[in-house]
Every structure is written in structure tokens, then in C-alpha cells.
Amino acid sequence: MKKVSVIVPVYNTKQYLVRCLDALVGQTLEEIEIVIVNDGSTDDSPQILEEYAKKYPDKVRVLHKENGGQATARNLGIRECTGEYIGFADSDDYVDRTMYERMYRLAKEKDCDLVECHYHYIQETEQGMQELKTRGNIRAYKNQKDMFIDPQVSPWNKLYRREVLLENAIVFPEGLIYEDTAFYIKTIPYVRKAEYLPEHPVYYFLRGNSTMNANKSRRVADIFKVLQDILDFYKKQGFYEEYQKELEYFCVKILLCSSLSRIGRVQERALQTELLDTTFAFIKEHFPKYRSNEYFTGKIGCYIRLVKRWNSRLLAIVLGKLMKG
């Protein structure tokens, strides 16, 4: 058994692949498996991947599938990998060559189900690389409930014990965006112990722009399906009562902060109205007493209590201009 499997979904990222894969095959952790899932790429990515598979047969496995989205690629990787721990990497980013050795060593030393590290958040501009403020309050968690409070939900700065994912059938919801959100939250009840590596070995890049085209605008509504999926999971698994306050904080904060900012960038007025109506209908149905949630304190608490349906369009537009991604 390999110590770590790193799952890398790939779709048309030929210009970034070599940098990403060189960092992975050059890891100082020898017992590593790199499971690359080509998600129906139409550029030269498949040829590049096959070159690495031939050059590093003991480390690199390439799986090819029809295009189905990042979640389908990651889920295939989870099923096919063999490592004691699982990490995830995005094919247009890269990591320090010592990352997985350091994370694995900490996982074994502390007998962890999850290890999380910090990261660099970078935007490429005409003037060069610009480091941005990172998202989420990445830190050492006090307990499982603390993991709901302002986390960075993305999987590429984490190392999970593989059996935790397999034994509890935790996968990424397919056909939706924001799938990282559901995956992270579903792992929490099963993470007996988590540790934090206070280093920045991941280089994550903000690409594209914040313009909302018609298709992207419609997909903003995926957040309602993702949050419903989370709530259904917690109820089905019998965890809902235990984590109700934390789920309330997590879901309402997403809907009235990051989701609201995306709605503010939707250009079609009718769709924007529909999304705002759905936001407040979702909150009213699932969290009618959210304003009394003890986690809403300080500035965020004041802001959450300020947001009403009548002023949400204006706040959404303001947030849309302030927030990226």
C-alpha cells in the first residue's frame, strides 16, 4: 500500500500540467501514488499525461473517461486509489515538493483522519503575480463543531485517511458546482482527529474573471441543491440534531455572503430576483430562527441581522463588486 494517493482531475490544462506534475512526481515522499483522471480533455493534455505515466510507471496512473465534470473525476480517483491517505491537487496549481511528506508525517505522528495546511492565493496579472488574501480561517480546530466555522472547504490543502471516505461513502456530488462544500461538510462527523500544518505549501491560482455569463448565472442556483444535499445527509445519518446550530451558521453565512455576492453579479434582472427569492425561502424553510444563532457575533452577526429581502439586491450588488470568484 502506498502512503499517499494524490488525485488530480485534468480537463484542458496543458499549459499548466508540466509544472503541476513535476511538483508531484518530485515529492520527497517516496511511497506516493499520483492518480490522474483525464476528464475528456480535447487539448494535448492526454498526451502529456501518457508521457508522465511512461516515465514514472511506479508513481503515475492515468485514467481516461468521458467528460463529466470535476466531481466525477475525483470520485473515480477515490474508487481507484490505494493509498493510506488521500490528497487532491488541481492541475492548474502546484505544490511544494515536501508537502505530502510533511503532511503524512504529521498524520501518522498524531494518528489523524485529516491534516490541513495553509496556502498561497495568487492572481496572474499583466504586472506579474499578485498574492491575494486567502479564503477561510485556516487554523487548528478545537473540535468537530469548530470545523463548521469559517473553513476553507477546498480539498487541495487537505490529507484524508482513505478508509474514512470509503467506509462512510463520502463522495463529491456530481453535476453541480460548489461540490467541495458538500464533500468537506460531510466528512466532519467522521473526523475523529484533525491537525493543522502551519505552512503554505500550496500555490492556488485565481484564473479567469468575475464576469457572470448566462450559463454561469444560472448555475449560481446549484448552491441550494448542494446545501439541501448536506442537510439531507446529516438527517439521514442521524447527525442533524447534534450539529444543528453549526449547520445553521454555515448554510446561512454562505447564502447571505458568498452566494449573495454571486447573485449581485447576475446581469439578468428576472433571474436575479428569482435567486434572491429562493435564498430567503430556503432560509425561512430550514433556519427560521437563524438571527438568534450564538455563532453570529461581532461584525458578521451585525451584517447577517442587517440583511433582509427588501435590501438584499443592493447588498448583493455591493458584495458582487467587492468579492472575487
Following DSSP, what letter does each residue of 279-298 receive, concatenated? HHHHHHHH-TTGGG-TT--H
C-alpha dihedral, 209 to 95 to 198 to 134, nearest 10°: 0
Domains in the chain, start-ordered, CATH in brackets?
4-206 (3.90.550.10), 214-322 (no CATH)
Inform me whether the pLDDT recorded for 325 exceeds 60. no
**Residue 212: pLDDT band by 50, 70, 90 thresholds?**
low
- Res 56 pLDDT > 70: yes
Q: Taking a C-beta distance cutoff of 8 angstroms, is the pair 137, 128 a contact?
A: no
From 82, 89, 11, select the one nearest 49 (Cα to Cα): 11
pLDDT digits (tens, 9 = 90+) for 69-128: 999 999 999 999 999 999 999 999 999 999 999 999 999 999 999 999 999 999 988 788
Angle at CA of residue 278, ends 277 and 283, nearest 5°: 105
Residues constituting the chain: 325
**On the CB side of 229, how many CA atoms lie within 13 Å of its CA?**
22
**Percentage of the chain surpassing pLDDT 70?**
97
Position 208 pLDDT exceeds 80? no
Q: What is the pTM of this model?
A: 0.96
